[in-house]
Amino acid sequence: MITSKEHFHGSDLEKIEALYGIKKEELVNFAGNVNPLGISPLLRQSLSERIDAITDYPDREYTSLRQSITDYLNKDRGTGSPINREDVLVGNGSTELISLMIQFISPSKALILSPTYSEYERELTLAGSKIDYFPLKEKEDFCLDCNALKTKLSEGYQLLVICNPNNPTSSAINKDTLAAILSCCQENNVYCMVDETYVEFAPAVNTITAVSLISDYSRLIIIRGISKFFAAPGLRLGYAVVGDKELIAKVNRRKNPWTINTLASLAGEIMFADENYIHTTRAFTQKERQRVVTALKDIPDIKFYEPSANFILLQVQKDSPTSYELFEGAIKKGMLLRDCSNFPLLNNRFIRFCFMSEEANSKLLEYLKESLS
């Protein structure tokens, strides 16, 4: 049996299967933050018909894929300038692009909004950067104090990292506030990397995404991938929109060619064009987000934070059960939650779960109600 000091992520299914003796296929993964509708039906129908494409090398420039991404992003940008294909970089998942951006910027000092995804810290540590954390405070429901952040940015940073909507808090920064932050970054020569992994799940994407700000802020870098919204983490396809033309050129000159295989490239083109799937996913997420939030109001001794993404953060308001106890109790019922006690600034009272099917969500809500009563 494991100890309460060990933590599991949504990708740790094999490890959990071995430790608990529960087949991973029998677990409902509320910790993975992946679209429960599965992959695009258009992709499922048409990718196999193009299997012979693997007999050729991918286009070194990924021109068609980058154009598909450009068209997709421009549909949701809201007001502001459209992006161009030349603004887009593609990579082997968003993780590769986060790593590449950090390598090429090579910040001696970086600032991360926290609590957040641990990969930023890992990559910055590997790059030898000094890391500071700007806290999103629980007493402020993890909402950003923009004025305090702008003051902090004058302290000699080369990179600011923002996850928007943020993991694990599901809080979001609107586009107007982002513009104010980006103006401050420009003044202080600070690159701003905005990870928009979850923005497509937001109730109003065009009010949050920074895509339309690219042409105005050369220090802006937007990172996205297909793992969560398009339910395809195994394809390893990510993309970035970059305001700095010199940085794009530098990365393109020096990064490895063909890091995306032909099928992943084709899959991206198909998925980004599946408007019915995109609409269905957003409608489903909005419906279940509202239903779960309403149900949580009737569960005692719990506080939740208004979600902008496809997951929600909860805080237990009494000594027991702890986040680990809730995690382990859920595992025994075939449900995987995220114990958030190892996130900076959080403790053993915080859990996170994403919205799965209506049936699965109802089962989880019943479990939480029983556990906290």
89 within some domain = yes
pTM: predicted TM-score of the whole model, two decimal places: 0.94
What tokens appear for 213 in the block? 């700000």
In this predicted structure, what is the pLDDT of residue 22?
77
**What does the pLDDT look like over 207-259, one tens digit per residue?**
999 999 999 999 999 999 999 999 999 999 999 999 999 999 999 998 899 99
> Looking at the predicted structure, is the pLDDT value of residue 19 above 80?
no
- Are residues 256 and 340 both part of a single domain? no
Q: Which amino acid is at 213?
A: L
**What does the pLDDT look like over 29-79, one tens digit per residue?**
999 999 999 999 999 999 999 999 999 999 999 999 999 999 999 999 888
- Position with higher pLDDT, 366 vs 2: 366
- Are residues 65 and 194 both part of a single domain? yes
73 within some domain = yes
1 within some domain = no
Confidence grade of residue 7 (pLDDT, cut at 50, 70, 90) = low
Q: If we measure between CA atoms, which residue out of 104, 88, 354, 113 comes closest to residue 237?
A: 88
- Position with higher pLDDT, 183 vs 23: 183
**What does the pLDDT look like over 332-359, one tens digit per residue?**
999 999 999 999 999 999 999 999 999 9
**What does the pLDDT look like over 176-186, one tens digit per residue?**
999 999 999 99
Q: Which of 221, 252, 274 is the last residue of a domain?
A: 274
- Are residues 204 and 79 both part of a single domain? yes
Q: How many domains does the chain have?
A: 2
Measured CA to CA, the distance from residue 178 to residue 183 in angstroms comes to: 9
- Are residues 285 and 215 both part of a single domain? no
In this predicted structure, what is the pLDDT of residue 20?
73
Q: Which residues pair with 111 in a beta bridge?
A: 132, 160
- Are residues 237 and 338 both part of a single domain? no
- Are residues 226 and 98 both part of a single domain? yes
Report the CATH number that the domain containing residue 60 is assigned in CATH: 3.40.640.10
In this predicted structure, what is the pLDDT of residue 14?
72
- Are residues 69 and 159 both part of a single domain? yes
Whole-angstrom CA distances from 318 to 145, 163, 301, 349 are 28, 29, 6, 8
- Are residues 85 and 152 both part of a single domain? yes
Confidence grade of residue 6 (pLDDT, cut at 50, 70, 90) = low
Q: Which residues of 261-278 are buried (b: 16+ CB within 10 A; e: fewer)?
A: bbbbbbbbbbbbebeebb
Confidence grade of residue 10 (pLDDT, cut at 50, 70, 90) = very low
In this predicted structure, what is the pLDDT of residue 128?
97
Confidence grade of residue 8 (pLDDT, cut at 50, 70, 90) = low
Q: Quick one: average pLDDT of 88-97?
A: 96
Domain containing 313 equals: 13-39+276-372
- Are residues 332 and 257 both part of a single domain? no
- Are residues 78 and 136 both part of a single domain? yes
Q: Which amino acid is at 84?
A: N
285 within some domain = yes
- Are residues 186 and 233 both part of a single domain? yes
- Are residues 174 and 98 both part of a single domain? yes
Q: Which of 254, 274, 294 is the last residue of a domain?
A: 274
**What does the pLDDT look like over 132-187, one tens digit per residue?**
999 999 999 999 999 999 999 999 999 999 999 999 999 999 999 999 999 999 99
In this predicted structure, what is the pLDDT of residue 53?
94
- Position with higher pLDDT, 372 vs 3: 372
5 within some domain = no
101 within some domain = yes
Report the CATH number that the domain containing residue 340 is assigned in CATH: 3.90.1150.10
Confidence grade of residue 16 (pLDDT, cut at 50, 70, 90) = confident
204 within some domain = yes
> Looking at the predicted structure, is the pLDDT value of residue 199 above 80?
yes
Q: Which of 252, 274, 296 is the last residue of a domain?
A: 274
141 within some domain = yes
Q: Is 77 helix (H, G, I), strand (E, B) or coil?
A: coil
Confidence grade of residue 2 (pLDDT, cut at 50, 70, 90) = very low
Q: Is 84 helix (H, G, I), strand (E, B) or coil?
A: coil
